[in-house]
Amino acid sequence: MSEGLAAGGATAWQFRSGAAARDRLPATDARRKLQLALGAIWLLDGVLQYQSFMFTKAFPQMLAGTAPGNPAFIAGPINWSAQLIDHHVVLMNAAFATIQLLLGLGIAWRPTVKVALAASIVWAIAVWWLGEGLGLVLTGGASPVNGAPGAVIIYALLAVLLWPAAAQRPASSVAGRAVGGPAAKALWLILWGSLAYFALTPASRAAGAISGMIAGMASGEPGWLGWTDNHLASALGHQGTWVSVLLTVALAVVAVGVYLAPRAARVAIILALVVAGALWLAEGLGGILTGSGTDPNSGPLLALLALAYWPARTSAAAPADPARSMLKTGA
């Protein structure tokens, strides 16, 4: 009987070890896929930065255009960096493009993923300030439709949430495994809650505001995309107030959705994916087809973020323990 118990104990240990490994694999695999998607977007940014437009004086002028309306302590460094780039535009833009390519490749290669994610956080914060003017959130001109609170700060948030922590905290989604479920939900609430707020500011709710933003994205786009954006802008017309209210309601539902039961949370995250897709269309796909877009804007980043919060499925009942069954039967 002792031999049977020993064999049963070994079988039970192997069963539990295998089950634990299988339980860990889906979350680990999902996180890795999201990391690779983030790396692919960084690679896209690097490729876009190598466009001929970025090696001209127009690039630093575009950066300087984010300074007006910002407080002096924010606008001053923006203007300084734009002037510096203007004097060395070829060299500095080549360096910027190479850095983004290296970030994407570093995230894609397992041995360097932590270094690359850490570097991407620093780079994203610098670009958010000096390249996006903090997403215009301090100017009064920020709106979810024009990419607020700035696409690049979402890169940094994703790097934090997808960090490959050695000791993973119990969480219901990939996003909570590095920072913990409560912290991840708080970050989600802050981001989507801020989007709901920006959707109600005068920059969004004024008559013709949102339609004007969408129409402004159509310049330089391929015919089919320009036609889509122009017709979308025309359909919205001067309904800025109603559109901003509906957008605010949708964003608010998304913001609180992660605090709901798993089934309701999934519905909220599906809504987040729909909103992200609609925003990306309104953003003209970030201008990536115009020859002057530096990144795909906030739409794809919000969608990637939503996928990181998808509630994990849990089995309804745990499998029986073989060792316990053997003890009961006296084997």
Please report the DSSP string for 13-52 in residue order: HHHHHHHHHHHHHHHHHHHHHHHHHHHHHHHHHHHHHTSG
Distances (CA, A) of 164 to 4, 27, 31, 114, 132: 41, 11, 8, 7, 28
- The answer, yes or no, to whether residue 121 has pLDDT greater than 60, is yes
Could you tell me the two tokens for 127? 């670009």
pLDDT for residue 9 is more than 60: no
| SS3 (DSSP) at 257 | helix
Q: State yes or no: pLDDT of 45 exceeds 60.
A: yes
CB-based contact 188:176 (threshold 8 Å):
no
pLDDT score of 326 more than 80: no
CB neighbour list of residue 205: distance below 8 Å, 6 or more residues apart: 199, 240, 241, 244, 245
Q: Is a pLDDT exceeding 70 seen at residue 124?
A: yes
- Position 238 confidence tier, pLDDT thresholds 50, 70, 90: confident
Whether 239 shows a pLDDT value over 90: the answer reads no
Q: 19-33, 126-140, 175-189, 221-235: which range is least confident on average?
A: 19-33
The structure tokens listed for 44 are 């896209």
Across 57-154, the runs of DSSP E, i.e. the strands, are none
Mean pLDDT of 178-184: 92
- Give the separation between CA 122 and CA 326, rounded to whole angstroms: 56
What's the Cα-to-Cα distance from 286 to each of 155, 289, 317, rounded to whole Å? 15, 8, 46
- Note the pLDDT of residue 234: 86
Q: DSSP state, 112? A: G
From 1-10, 69-78, 181-190, 215-224, the region with the lowest mean pLDDT = 1-10
The mean of the pLDDT values for the chain is 86
| Percentage of the chain exceeding pLDDT 70 | 85
For residue 72, give Cα distances in angstroms to 62, 137, 150: 18, 14, 19
pLDDT of residue 167: 62
8 Å CB contact between 77 and 85: no
DSSP secondary structure of 155-212: HHHHHHHT---SSPPP-SSTTHHHH-HHHHHHHHHHHHHHHHHHTTSHHHHSTTHHHH
Confidence bin at 236 (pLDDT 50/70/90) = confident
Q: 151 and 298 in contact (C-beta within 8 Å)?
A: yes
Radius of gyration of the chain from its Cα atoms, rounded to whole angstroms: 24
pTM of the shown model? 0.85
Residue 196 and residue 255 in contact, taking contact as beta carbons nearer than 8 Å? yes
* Predicted local confidence at residue 323, as pLDDT: 38
In this predicted structure, the answer to whether residue 118 has a pLDDT above a threshold of 50 is: yes
Matching residue, tokens 């934090």? 160
Answer whether residue 14 shows pLDDT above 70.
Answer: no
Could you tell me how many helices (H) and strands (E) the chain has, helices first? 15, 0
Of the candidates 70, 37, 19, the one whose C-alpha atom is nearest the C-alpha of residue 317 is 19
Question: Where does the pLDDT of residue 23 fall: very low under 50, low under 70, confident under 90, or very high at 90 and above?
Answer: very low
pLDDT digits (tens, 9 = 90+) for 59-92: 999 999 999 999 999 999 999 999 999 999 999 9
User: For 145, which DSSP code?
Assistant: G
Contact 311, 266 (CB under 8 A): yes
Tell me, what's the pLDDT at 16? 52
What percent of the chain stands above pLDDT 90? 68
